[in-house]
Structure 1
Amino acid sequence: MAETREIENAGSNFTQVLEAAAKLPGVRISRAAYLRTALKRYCTEEQIETAIAKSPAAAGIPLKVISDVANASIKYETSKVTGLSALAGIPGGFAMVGTVPADLAQYMGHMLRIAQKLAYIYSWPDLFADEDQDVDEATENVLILFVGVMFGVQIAQSGVTKVAAMVSANLAKKLPQQALTKGVIYPIVKKVASYLGIGMTKKLFASGVAKAIPVVGALFSGGLTLGTFLPMSKRLQKHLASLELTKPSHRKVADDIANAEAAP
């Protein structure tokens, strides 16, 4: 019983860090603005508008372009996190994090930024429809899965794959709320949060930032950050790129089926 409670507390600690990071200025990425900016060098205006209205896969954007955009986004976010980011310089920014150590929230903020960018270029729906509201449970849970993939939590990959299949099958423009908050994905999310809490935040809450694990210390060492943030981002990119959701051919077949079913 005590061990179960400890695991639950660890998951709660991690969720607290994620929620604090999501409140920091600049962490939430506008899907439409990102896709428009990221694709303007490679795509026609028509393709960009289709990518925003539907998805990059539905717009038929080549996987080579998707990969190039993803790599550019990873490079950009990695360069920002190697030093203290602009988030730290915004007055009142860290007043929002409460009891969560500021540098941990900042590092997590960068993880959430790259997770959103990779999700959007790999054809996931909008995660933050309303930037002024708190993170809803479905979004929070899918972000937990993304971060789990970044940290190499095996079960997180399974969770992301299942959610992607639901989004793809339903041609959805939003996350599968029921599955993520009460259904088949929810138990996976809770396990991933617990693993992450035990492995990352438990030591932080117990002994403070100065004695935290290297992931947090990476904020103060560009070389160490390259050894953590970069491969974690690449790990998420690799998994998202492997999903059927991002394949133009798959999306075209799904659209053809939907159109045939809608025809009289």
Structure 2
Amino acid sequence: MNQGEAGENPESRFSAVLVGAARLPGVRIHRETYLRKALSRYCTEDEISRAVAETPAAAGISLDVLDKAANDSIRYETAKASALSAAAGLPGVFALPATVPADMAQYFGHMLRISQKLAYLYSWPDLFSDGDDVDDATKAVLTLFFGVMFGTQSANAAVGRVAGLMAEQVAKKLPQKALTQGVVYPIVKKVAAYIGVEMSKQTFAKSVSKAIPVVGAALSGGLTFATYRPMAKRLQKHLASLELTKPAHRVPDGQAADGREDSAPVPPGQRGADATASPVREEAQG
């Protein structure tokens, strides 16, 4: 895809930005490292080990605890994204050709970071494999996550459908066919096109906010804070409501279907730990 085509087609433009943001340093979250840090304040070591080897739901970690960990991460990512956006607004109008694209890239990068963190807390599998490439299923599910953050109801329904498929199959991978060929795929394309249009609006707003040196820093940082946190909270609320968060859908064979501990849990070692998503390690905050 060339840049001209990406610029003319909102869907292609968003897809190009998504893939580019996923390749930025520090954007990909290492699932195991993140879960250990995020849950360390609230869970025992046994609970954390099982959450890493299976899922937080399978480890029996309550939604209240997961919500606390999610809120910690949302606060951290919001503050970081806002600070970087404010810094991009310092130079003023003459630097707009450089600062606006850079700010949009870091903004979408932080949207990717919080999407991964919330997904891992609410029992989704690794979203990235090693290497720079982003496979089609990962790109599709991240597009749907972004759609939820932007408030599109079709994305909410599609994410719920994907989560339902994974819960039914007790799957530890994304359902490739549903996301790339099946009934979910047309929704992915529509959501990508919608976000592509919204990106153009955000680019204009950020350009205006950065036009005046120094004052632009406060306006730009404030705009990011006002938009990023509500979007992250929207995704958090939706992921927390899905079937994947319910232990009854993630228990090993032999345990009660209703989630009661009628039989002894299978040790995490018998299930095998998830493969790590990326060599990138998480920074200082859960």
CA distance in 2, matches of 1:32, 1:253: 20
Cα distance in 1 between the residues matched to 2:183 and 2:197 = 23
TM-score normalised to the size of structure 2?
Answer: 0.75
Q: 1:69 to 1:209 in 2, by over 3 A?
A: closer
Shift of 1:233: 0.4
Distance 1:220 1:112, change over 3 A: farther
Q: Which has the higher helix share?
A: 1
Say if 1:83 and 1:220, in contact at 8 Å, map to a contact too: no
* Aligned 8 A contact 2:170 2:249 in 1: no
CA contact (8 A) 2:21 2:27 kept: yes
Q: 1:219: how far off? A: 9.0
Q: In 2, distance between residues paired with 1:203 and 1:34?
A: 30
Aligned residues: 237
Contact map agreement 1:101 1:209 (CA 8 A) in 2: no
Change over 3 Å in CA distance of 1:212–1:222 after alignment to 2: closer
Corresponding letter in the other structure for 1:16? A
Give 2:157's aligned residue. Answer: 158
Checking the alignment, whether the CA contact within 8 Å between 2:122 and 2:245 is kept in structure 1 is yes
- Which SS does the other structure have where 2:105 is aligned? helix
Cα distance, 1:12 vs. partner?
A: 0.5
Question: Where does the alignment leave 5 or more consecutive residues of structure 1 unmatched?
Answer: 89-99, 260-264
Measured after TM superposition, the shift of residue 50 of structure 1 is 1.0
2:233 match: secondary structure: helix
Secondary structure at 1:135 match in 2:
coil
AA aligned to 1:118 is L
Distance 1:254 1:152, change over 3 A: farther
Between the aligned partners of 1:219 and 1:187, the Cα distance in structure 2 is 39
In the other structure, the counterpart of 1:242 is: 241
1:14 aligns with 2:11: no
Summarize the Cα distance change of 1:223–1:202 in structure 2 as closer, same or farther, 3 Å threshold.
closer
1:245–1:208 distance in 2 versus 1, CA, 3 Å: closer
**What is the CA–CA distance in structure 1 between the aligned matches of 2:38 and 2:10, rounded to whole Å?**
37
Does the 8 Å contact 1:13/1:202 carry over to 2? no
CA contact (8 A) 1:57 1:123 kept: yes
Work out the CA distance in 2 between the residues paired with 1:84 and 1:249: 41
Q: Which residue of 1 aligns with 2:118?
A: 118
Structure index of larger Rg: 2
Q: Is 1:175 matched with 2:157?
A: no
Aligned-residue offset at 1:177: 0.8
Q: Which residue of 1 aligns with 2:72?
A: 72
User: Partner of 1:231 in structure 2?
Assistant: 230
Q: Which has the higher contact order (CA 8 A, sep 6+)?
A: 2
* CA shift for structure 1 position 112: 0.4
Q: For 1:77-112, what per-residue CA distance to the aligned partner results, in whole angstroms no more than 9, with x for missing partners?
A: 011011117xx9xxxxxxxxxxx9222111000000
Which residue pairs with 1:134 in the alignment? 133
| Sequence identity (%) | 61
Q: SS state of the match for residue 59, structure 2?
A: coil
Instruction: Name the residue aligned to 1:184.
Output: 183
User: Paired residue for 2:197?
Assistant: 198
- Tell me the secondary structure at the aligned position of residue 256 of structure 1: coil
Q: Which amino acid aligns with 1:245?
A: L
> Does the Cα contact within 8 Å between 2:206 and 2:220 map onto a contact in 1?
no
What is the CA deviation profile of residues 181-223 of structure 1, one whole-angstrom value per residue up to 9, with x for unaligned ones?
Answer: 111211110010011112223784xx7962599xxx8996333
Conserved in 2, the CA contact under 8 Å of 1:83 and 1:222?
yes
Following the alignment from structure 1 to structure 2, what is the Cα–Cα distance between the partners of residues 152 and 71?
A: 19
State how far apart, in whole Å, the 1-side matches of 2:218 and 2:147 are: 20
Scaled by the length of structure 1, the TM-score of the pair is 0.81
CA distance in 1, matches of 2:222, 2:18: 24
* Contact 2:7–2:13, Cα closer than 8 Å, also in 1: no
Runs (5+) with no aligned partner, structure 2? 89-99, 211-215, 258-262, 264-286
Q: Answer yes or no: is the 8 Å Cα contact 1:83–1:219 preserved in 2.
A: no
Amino acid at match of 1:129: S
For residues 67-106 of structure 1, the aligned pairs below 5 Å read 67-84=67-84, 101-106=101-106
In the alignment, does 2:203 pair up with 1:210?
no
Tell me how far 1:173 sits from its aligned partner: 1.0
